[in-house]
């Protein structure tokens, strides 16, 4: 396994809609394993393939707390099949936007359908942090970022900050 570089705003690839995974092979499983290693090292609870510059509909997630046994999951071609009317407000961060936190209201419970790392179709009912993290990662697959939930003024301020940071790192 290898730790992969995580792309950050203002990289335009983050705004790309990811393509469906056509087949699950050894390369894709290796990518998922590398993404898990990258996510744990960051540290984060989720990581979409687009965040490591791979525009495929795939993300990894593990919302277990530090004391619990790790529960890594690989979701390939995920889609939400139902959402609760009840909402949950949660402060979200993102590995592609370090130090940016945004309070976002999302459905508290969802059902997600996806293929696992073996190509088997799965359906999972998620609530709480797991539901929030799945929706966050699905947003990445559609080119949407947490700053899109901010007012235009605040979003523009964050974008300017990251553009300035990117220029200073050149």
Residue 66: exposure state from Cβ atoms within 10 A (0-12, 13-18, ≥19): exposed
The single-letter DSSP state of residue 56 is B
Query: What is the rounded CA–CA span in Å between residue 61 and residue 72?
Result: 6
Q: How far is CA 73 from CA 3, 37, 39, 52, 58, in A?
A: 17, 12, 12, 17, 11
* Residue 137 falls in the annotated catalytic set: yes
- Annotated active-site residue in 67, 99, 123, 137: 137
Secondary structure letter of residue 2 according to DSSP: -
Q: How many CB atoms lie within 10 A of CB 113?
A: 15
Which is it for the CA torsion 14, 4, 115, 67, positive or negative?
negative
Query: Hey, which residues are catalytic here?
Result: 137
């Amino acid at each position: 396994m290898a730790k992969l570089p995580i792309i950050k705003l203002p990289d335009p690839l983050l705004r790309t809609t990811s393509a469906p995974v056509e087949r699950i092979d050894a390369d894709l499983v290796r990518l998922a394993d590398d993404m898990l290693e990258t996510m744990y090292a960051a540290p984060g609870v989720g990581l979409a393939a687009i965040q490591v510059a791979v525009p495929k509909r795939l993300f990894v997630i593990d919302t277990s707390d530090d004391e619990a046994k790790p529960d890594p999951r690989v979701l390939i071609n995920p889609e939400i099949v139902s959402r609760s009317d009840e909402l949950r407000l949660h402060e979200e961060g993102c590995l592609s936007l370090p130090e940016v936190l945004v309070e976002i209201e999302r459905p508290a419970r969802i059902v997600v359908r996806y293929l696992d790392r073996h190509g088997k179709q799965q359906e999972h009912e998620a609530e709480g942090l797991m539901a929030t993290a799945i929706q966050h990662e699905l947003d990445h697959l559609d080119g949407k970022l947490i700053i899109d939930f901010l007012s235009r003024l605040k979003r523009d301020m964050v974008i300017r900050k990251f553009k300035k940071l990117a220029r200073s790192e050149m």
